[in-house]
Amino acid sequence: MKISVRDAGETKIVEVEGDVDLGTSPDLRRTLFENLLHAPKLALNLAAIRYIDSSGIATLIEVLKDSQRRNKEFVLFGLSPAVQQVFRLTHVIRIFQVFQTEEEALGSA
Amino acid sequence: MTGGLHLKVVMPSDARYLPVVRGAIGPLAAAMGWDEADSRAITLALDEALANIIRHAYHGRADGLIELECREGADGLEISLLDTGDPPDRTKICARAIACDQPGGLGTHIIKDVMDTVSYQATPAGNRFVATKRLRKTI
């Protein structure tokens, strides 16, 4: 799994590539929590995720709840088919703000 | 003509082996006749079952062993996992309400949704997880 972070105005955009599973989700969790501290909005690009399991989805739920506690925004965009399928199976998509493109995600505030 | 497809693997309870198993089970399911989405779902269900064993039976220790067997039957696939860690707490399996916003307990719901039957048994050899999925043939 590869993770990179860039700025777009006041938003931190986190890009993830590869597999998010029991072994790699702690790295994603650490990156998301760290960056949430330094921006009012965090946008996670899921387009290059080849695989995500329930530990990855649980990480996203934890970050979302932390963002809500801090009055910050956490949005997702570019869901790959693999990610969409896991969201469907876990029935949690409704709790997230999900956008197709980065432009839409950045304009959501 | 030989019998149905059969894969047997003994892996350490180390999360670094999960991608290795995923790399094998997806193509195996596809070879048995499932489409890409179903093969991906079967892979996910198996991965979740293995992750549960690593987390809950072996508590993250990487020195346990997990025996994995996938067998093609007359009407589908049977997946069997055997471990010698702590037995699963049956009160926690699928105890999480579906569609709620709590992060834990998603894996067992995925397994139950994807597979047709799921069972957990305590045997003299260890904890045995067995799940089956029927292949619905279209004519």
Chain segment B20-51, per-residue pLDDT in tens: 999 999 999 999 999 999 999 999 999 999 99
Distance from CA of A38 to the nearest CA of B (A): 23
Q: Do A21 and B40 touch (CB under 8 A)?
A: no
Chain A contact for B126 (CB, 8 A cutoff): no
Strands B126-134 and A41-52: unpaired
Nearest to A86 among B16, B44, B99 (CB): B44
Domains of chain A: 2-106 (3.30.750.24)
Looking at beta carbons, which residues of chain A come within 8 Å of B47?
21, 53
Looking at beta carbons, which residues of chain A come within 8 Å of B40?
82, 85
pLDDT digits (tens, 9 = 90+) for B93-127: 665 665 566 766 789 999 999 999 999 999 999 99
- Segment (H or E) for A98: strand A97-99
What is the average per-residue pLDDT within A31-57? 96
A-chain residue closest to B106, CA distance: A54
Percentage with pLDDT > 90 across chain A: 84
- Which of A38-52, B65-79, B80-94 has the lowest average pLDDT? B80-94
B78: number of Cβ within 10 Å = 16
B-chain residue closest to A26, CA distance: B15
pLDDT digits (tens, 9 = 90+) for A24-39: 999 999 999 999 999 9
Looking at beta carbons, which residues of chain B come within 8 Å of A86?
44, 110
Distance CA A35, CA A109 (A): 18
Domains of chain B: 6-134 (3.30.565.10)
- ipTM for the complex shown: 0.87
Residue type, A106: L
Distance CA B58, CA B120 (A): 16
Chain A contact for B106 (CB, 8 A cutoff): yes
Chain A contact for B110 (CB, 8 A cutoff): yes
Looking at beta carbons, which residues of chain A come within 8 Å of B18?
21-23
A-chain residue closest to B39, CA distance: A82
Q: How confident is the model at residue A52, as a pLDDT?
A: 95
